[in-house]
Amino acid sequence: MATPYSALAVANYFLDLAKAKGIGLDPMKLQKLIYFAHGWHLALYDGAPLIDEQIQAWDYGPVVSSVYHEFKKFGARPIDQLGTDFDLAKDEIVTPRIALHDKQTIALLDKIWEVYGRYTGVQLSNLTHETGSPWAQIRNENKVLRSVGIPDEVIRKDFEAKKGA
């Protein structure tokens, strides 16, 4: 099993795709694309996570906290820069990326873009809010908490059910 990527590496891949296609990508849509990519990765690759961070069930939908904080300054506007992180080992700011030799992950992310990229952030958000979705399950169980993690196993089971549908 490959080591999961930072969520910012996945975000940057989608930002590069959007830029290459001349399409604006706002923070909400980016969050949802990462959620769908992670979910399908869990379902297709025996529960192996795509990202190294737990997705949170916030009031308004599933959120990857690091991606939220990196791009929140854009509000509802298209993001015009890649995400960066600080690499302690190198003592420098880096731009996380998907490894070019990782054809399996690149193929999955390209397919996610092909299937979900045509939708707006609001439309994708509506899909994540469907009755019985992992977000809805966790929010219903934790109504008083602003943020609570969505276990990968809950996400995996949901996407495996979609795979069989």
Q: What is the pLDDT of residues 80-104, one digit of tens each?
A: 999 999 999 999 999 999 999 999 9
Per-residue pLDDT, averaged over 5-9, amounts to 98
- The residue assigned the tokens 């609570």 is 148
| Whether the predicted pLDDT of 116 surpasses 60 | yes
User: Are the CB atoms for 154 and 128 separated by under 8 Å?
Assistant: no
Contacts of 29 (CB under 8 A, 6+ apart): 119, 120, 121, 124
What local confidence, expressed as pLDDT, does residue 165 receive? 63
Q: How far apart are the first and last CA of the chain?
A: 26
| Whether the predicted pLDDT of 158 surpasses 70 | yes
